[in-house]
């Protein structure tokens, strides 16, 4: 799908489910994108991956034990049934992305690291 349709689908959703289970998912760019649009996330714990750095359990989403489909479904149900929690996690996720993962913040971090400014 094109970018316009992708954006529309994310915006029409209530929850961003990120079902990756291996550390091959090095960062979770799609996860950060969903969070940027204010969607609370459901993820698995993936040791050695950046996924659980992008989305912080209990702050902007719910992280569950890797491969535990029952707990994953329970996390989705928890968010589906609690609009206030979705709003809280969604807002926190957008803020996290804005403060840590946008190109402007990346440029600032590189400048500070290499230029000492």
Query: What is the value of pTM for the model shown?
Result: 0.90
pLDDT tens over the chain, length 117 residues: 999 999 999 999 999 999 999 998 888 899 999 999 999 999 999 998 999 999 999 999 999 999 999 999 999 999 999 999 999 999 999 999 999 999 888 788 888 889 876
Nearest 5 degrees, angle CA 61-CA 5-CA 39? 15
Per-domain boundaries in the chain: 3-104
The architecture of the domain spanning 3-104 is 3-Layer(aba) Sandwich (3.40)
CB 75 within 8 A of CB 108: no
- Mark residue 28 as left, alpha or beta (left: phi above 0; alpha: psi -120 to 50; beta: remaining): left
Any idea what the Cα angle at residue 37 is, between residues 31 and 43, rounded to 5°? 30
């Amino acid at each position: 799908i094109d970018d316009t349709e992708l954006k529309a689908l994310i915006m029409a959703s209530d929850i961003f489910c990120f079902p990756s289970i291996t550390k091959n998912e090095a960062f979770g760019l799609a996860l950060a994108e969903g969070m940027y649009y204010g969607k609370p996330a459901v993820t698995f714990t993936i040791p050695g991956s950046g996924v659980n750095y992008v989305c912080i359990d209990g702050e902007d989403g719910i992280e569950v034990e890797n491969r535990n489909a029952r707990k994953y479904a329970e996390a989705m149900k928890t968010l589906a049934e609690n609009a206030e929690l979705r709003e809280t996690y969604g807002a926190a996720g957008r803020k996290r992305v804005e403060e840590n993962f946008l190109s402007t913040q990346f440029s600032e971090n590189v400048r500070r690291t290499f230029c000492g400014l």
